[in-house]
Amino acid sequence: MFSARPDLSGWMLAQDYLYAGAPGDGHVPPNPWSCLEVIPGQTGVASIWRGHLGVWFEPFKTCFLHSLAERALSVPCPHECGCRHEVVCHEDGEFVGICQCESWNCADLQLTVEDLTVWTLSWPRLGRALCQALGLQGKRANLNLPATRQVGAWSADAVPVLLTLQSERDGFLFIVGQLVARLRQPFILLAPTSQHLDAEAKELLANVGADVFALASHVEFSNPGVLRPCVSPGELFSRFNPQPKEAVSESTAQKAFALVRALDSEQPSSKASLYTVFRLYCMEGLNAAQVARKCGCARSLVFLRLQALSRKLGTHPRTLRQYSGHFERIEESLADPRARRVHRKSAIYEEEQEED
């Protein structure tokens, strides 16, 4: 489980952190994820976060940050002179930031409680948002590794999905080495960017069939604070899907596909039909919320469709994601009018044999 108390060592480092840009200048960074690799301990006052996030600061704070009880002892200089301002509380309760330059170049700062509030990353909130966006099973674990947590699992094989936030290449390589040695199985490693991924790390990951996915390349942060995958999770993590035996999987896929098409024709619907939900959920690997957005309906309706599919198919639709490649080939073949009759007869014939 996640530790309820964040590591304050990162906060102490953040007191000396200097941002090489105008805080709060309203700029739009190419991606908000990079701040998680450059803000020490993912902890700092609002001016530090705002300096990196720009217009993303407020939605990012609302979604993924929480405040600490401790107040900052110093704040970055807003004039970029290379100093920090030590916080002093006067007798009247007024907070002032006093320049620490030897030549005393900067005027004192008038500070408020909000200016001194320390904000830190909420791992549970970010983990839940990533699970929802990437269609992961919620599975959290603290591995006692620096800035690294398991946030979920992928597919019926429960492939571990981990998130690491490292500021240095050596630190990233250490985490990769530890995960490879301890897990000794394929795993998915999420990182804010791919800047620390080098040939040595790739070699270690390849030894156990693991891979790294940069959030900056694969997950978009929208203005309301919603995470959206750039491609469907099923496509993104396709190499981590279970690989059933070819002959068995082809037969199973044909039967399931034929049954879903038959059910869809028996229960036509103008919104979120059984086949549409089946296609988006099982073939494209979207989660229920993403399916609902695609269909323009409530999630409750998607859950009803998934329950109906579970009853008729005898298994949860999630288990059918391993046959997504077969479903796509069947769908493509049925697009050819000459193949429709052949596949329909084949599926029916196999069902009759099973009943006999």
Residues 40 and 114 in one domain: yes
Given a contact cutoff of 8 angstroms between Cβ atoms, the answer to whether 273 and 244 are in contact is no
49 and 15 within one domain: yes
Same domain, 304 and 351: yes
End-of-domain residue from the set 121, 151, 184: 121
Q: Do 192 and 151 share a structural domain?
A: yes
Closest of 329, 347, 348, 269 to residue 304, by C-alpha: 269
Nearest by Cα to 95 from 112, 72, 107, 108: 112
Q: What is the pLDDT of residues 121-149, one digit of tens each?
A: 999 999 999 999 998 988 888 889 999 99
Q: What's residue 189's pLDDT?
A: 97
Query: 84 pLDDT exceeds 50?
Result: yes
Residue 352 has pLDDT above 90, yes or no: no
Per-residue pLDDT of 287-299, as tens digits, reads 888 888 888 888 8
Last residue of a domain, one of 121, 155, 179: 121
pLDDT bin (cut points 50, 70, 90) of residue 103 is low
Average pLDDT (91-117) is 69
Convert 43-82 to b/e letters by CB count within 10 Å (16 or more is b).
Answer: bbbbbbbbbbbbbbbebbbebbbeeeeebbebbbbbeeee
Does any domain span residue 321? yes
Q: Please state the rounded mean pLDDT for residues 316-333.
A: 78
Residues 211 and 262 in one domain: no
Residue 237 lies in a domain: no
Q: Is residue 238 part of a domain?
A: no
Question: Sign of the CA dihedral 189, 192, 198, 199?
Answer: positive
| Percent of residues, the chain, with pLDDT higher than 70 | 72
Q: Are residues 255 and 329 in the same domain?
A: yes
CATH, residue 323: 1.10.10
Domain extent at residue 36: 8-121
Residue 130 lies in a domain: no
Residues 38 and 107 reside in one and the same domain: yes
Residues 106 and 145 in one domain: no
On whether both 183 and 273 belong to a single domain, the answer is no
Identify residue 189 by its one-letter amino acid code: L
- pLDDT above 60 for 21: no
Residue at 69 is within a domain: yes
User: pLDDT tens digit string along 140-177?
Assistant: 888 899 999 999 999 878 899 999 999 999 999 999 99
Cβ atoms of 74 and 45 within 8 Å: the answer is: no
One domain for residues 170 and 208: yes
Helix axis angle, 169-183 to 199-207, nearest 10°: 10
- Domain presence at residue 302: yes
What is the count of structural domains for the chain?
3
Task: With H, G, I as helix, E, B as strand and everything else as coil, classify residue 166.
Answer: coil
Residue 231 lies in a domain: no
Range with the poorest average pLDDT among 100-104, 210-214, 275-279, 320-324: 100-104
pLDDT at position 257: 82
| Of 342 and 39, the one with more pLDDT | 39
Residue where a domain terminates, one of 121, 153, 177: 121
Q: Within 10 A of 278 (CB to CB), how many other CB atoms are there?
A: 25
**Residue 240 falls within a domain, yes or no?**
no
Mapping DSSP to helix (H, G, I), strand (E, B) and coil, where does residue 86 land?
strand
Q: Tell me: do 210 and 271 sit in the same domain.
A: no
d(CA 2, CA 288): 26
Does residue 4 or residue 30 have the better pLDDT? Answer: 30
d(CA 18, CA 22): 11
